[in-house]
Each structure stands twice: as C-alpha cells, then as structure tokens.
Amino acid sequence: MLFLSLSILLSVLLLLNFRLFPRYDINTFQAIVFNYPVCFITGFLLLPAGQSFSIDFSQTWTWLALGLGVGFILTFLLSGASTQRMGITATSLANNLSLVIPVCFSLFVFQAGGGAAGFDLLNYLGLVLALVAVGLSTYKKETTVEQTAGEASSTPKRQGLSTLLPVAVFLFYGATNTMINYMNLRYIPSADKTVQVTLTMVVGAVAAGLLMLLLRIIQGKEQIQLRSLVGAVTLGVPNFLSFYTLLLALSAFGSNGAFVYPLYNIGVILLAALVAALFFREHLSTANKIGLALAVVSIGLISWQELAKI
C-alpha cells in the first residue's frame, strides 16, 4: 500500500502546483513545457542498472509513444487551465473518472478480459453514474450583484467556455489512457520495457512543448522566466514519480489493475477535495457534492468484483 499511497499523494501534488502557480506569478505554460525535460532526467536516473535509453524508430510502438507524448502535454495544459479556473476538485474528478473511456474501449473494442461478458448490471450502472458525476461536479454558477431600486439581487452569470475545461480533461485523459492500454495489448513486448516506453513518451512531450514555446517566442507572446524553471522542477519530479510509483503499486498487487486503479482514483478524488476545502476554501455547491459522492460510488461499482475480494 506504500507505493499506492505515494502515487495518490504525488498526483494531488500536481494539482496543487497548478493552483499555486498564479499566486507566485509562475507562467503555467512554461512550467509545463520545461517539466518534461525534468521528467526525462528523473526517469533516466531511475533506469535499472545495466539499462540504457535509446529510441528505435523501426518499432511501431515508438511512434505511438512519441504521439502519446504530444497528447500528454496537451492534456497537461488543459488540466492546468481547468485547475486554475474551475478548481482542484472538479479537475481531479474529471481526470480520475476518465477511466470510463479506456474501460469501455477495453470491453467493447479491444475485447480484453473477456470483453463485455465480464460486466454485469452494477458495472454498467457505475459507468453511467461516472458520466453523471462529471456533469454535476463541473456545474458552477456565478452571481453578479446588481443594484435595483436600492436592493441587491443576484443573477446567474455564465462562465462561458471555462465550464468545458473539466470535460476536455475527461476526454483527453480518457483518450491517452486508452492509447496506453492499446499499446500494452498490441505492441509492448514485456514489462521490463516500461521505463523505456515511458521515457519515449516524455521525449515526444519535450519535442512538442519546446516547439510550441519556440513558436510563441517568435510571435512575441512569451519571454522565458526563471521562476518558471523552478515551477518546472516542482511539477516535473512528482509528475514522473506519480506514474512510476503507480507502476510499482501495480507490480506489488500482481498487475491487478482492476483492484489498483479504483483505489487510486478514489484516493485522488477524496484527497484532492480535502486539500481544496482546507487550503483553498473551494466552495462546493449541492450539485458538486452530489457529483463527488457519485464519483466514489461509480468507481466502486465499476470494479466491485475486485473490491469484494479484499
């Protein structure tokens, strides 16, 4: 349970970084771009003794991994924007409930684990509740005070496209996790290639991020800030370690993802909500609280067979 607990803590630390960046005037975009070279260095230092890193462009999984790296940085940018505009709780819910997408693909497209035959009514109910939970958790209503005849009245004010950010996080995380599952099923030859594949993904993210930054600098939209490099370190180290410790947790539980992932997702959702309430006074409406509760219930229903074995 140590590795699983560490992975949960490190994942919430990522969201905490995004929430604190504006307070310390750290450029979130630059911190995200530079966090991936930090990820690469962290992963390289964790390579098993006797292993070296190289990229084999003749392998199909290499190109898929590089493409996934591009998806990672786009997803991370969305996650940062969502955390800052919609809060830690809504973003963590969207992130963790995205497991619905790879689960559905695994069942109905990849036919893994016996396909849809392995699902029962409670599992399907969990999938439906997860989608409802995303909608409820991202619902926000702002009010503006208007003075009419000496009285203050509140009127709803739409938040515009910001309300779609958690939904975009949900879709992008789900898509990248689905592709990771596809690679594992079709192209990754053995478990000892895990760090190699992860580092290849990071290389793709590094290349995409630096290209995006270079274009923005040429356009005059960005100037390199030293404090963003500091933010990249506080973001990059837990970013890689959260994934690495999750892999270690999977190994410790015999690669039983149906058991590990629900506990991981529930842990991140609850810890993120606690941190948001205690340190940032994030207000949760009744709809948000219902969404939070439904999120926990839905994840439990999706994997109740494995949880019942505890």
Predicted confidence band of residue 153 (pLDDT cuts 50, 70, 90):
very low
Percent of the chain at pLDDT above 70? Answer: 83
pTM of this structure = 0.79
pLDDT for the residue numbered 13: 95
pLDDT for the residue numbered 246: 83
Q: What is the mean pLDDT of residues 219-234?
A: 92
Q: Are residues 291 and 115 in contact, defined by beta-carbon separation less than 8 angstroms? A: no
For residue 28, give both structure tokens.
Answer: 């979130």
Total number of domains in the chain: 1
Q: What is the mean pLDDT of residues 173-192?
A: 74
Cα Rg of the chain, angstroms? 20
Residue 150 has pLDDT above 70, yes or no: no
pLDDT tens column, 63-81: 998 999 999 899 989 999 9
Choose the most confident range, by mean pLDDT, from 56-60, 66-70, 263-267: 66-70
Residue 194 has pLDDT above 90, yes or no: no
C-alpha pair distances (Å), 196 with each of 47, 191, 242: 8, 10, 16
Q: What is the mean pLDDT of residues 40-67?
A: 86
pLDDT for the residue numbered 124: 82
Residue 31 has pLDDT above 80, yes or no: yes
pLDDT for the residue numbered 205: 93
Predicted confidence band of residue 111 (pLDDT cuts 50, 70, 90):
low
pLDDT for the residue numbered 258: 61
Residue 235 has pLDDT above 60, yes or no: yes
Q: Are residues 273 and 99 in contact, defined by beta-carbon separation less than 8 angstroms? A: no
Higher pLDDT, 46 or 139: 46
pLDDT for the residue numbered 156: 42
Locate tokens 């911190």: which residue? 31
Alpha carbons 283 and 271: distance in angstroms, whole number = 15
Q: What is the mean pLDDT of residues 102-123?
A: 69
Q: What is the mean pLDDT of the chain?
A: 81
The domain containing residue 22 runs over which residues? Answer: 2-307
Q: What is the mean pLDDT of residues 134-140?
A: 71
For residue 275, give both structure tokens.
Answer: 């941190």
Higher pLDDT, 223 or 254: 223
Residue 226 has pLDDT above 80, yes or no: yes
Higher pLDDT, 125 or 113: 125
Q: What is the mean pLDDT of residues 99-116?
A: 69
pLDDT for the residue numbered 155: 39
Residue 144 has pLDDT above 50, yes or no: no
pLDDT for the residue numbered 92: 86
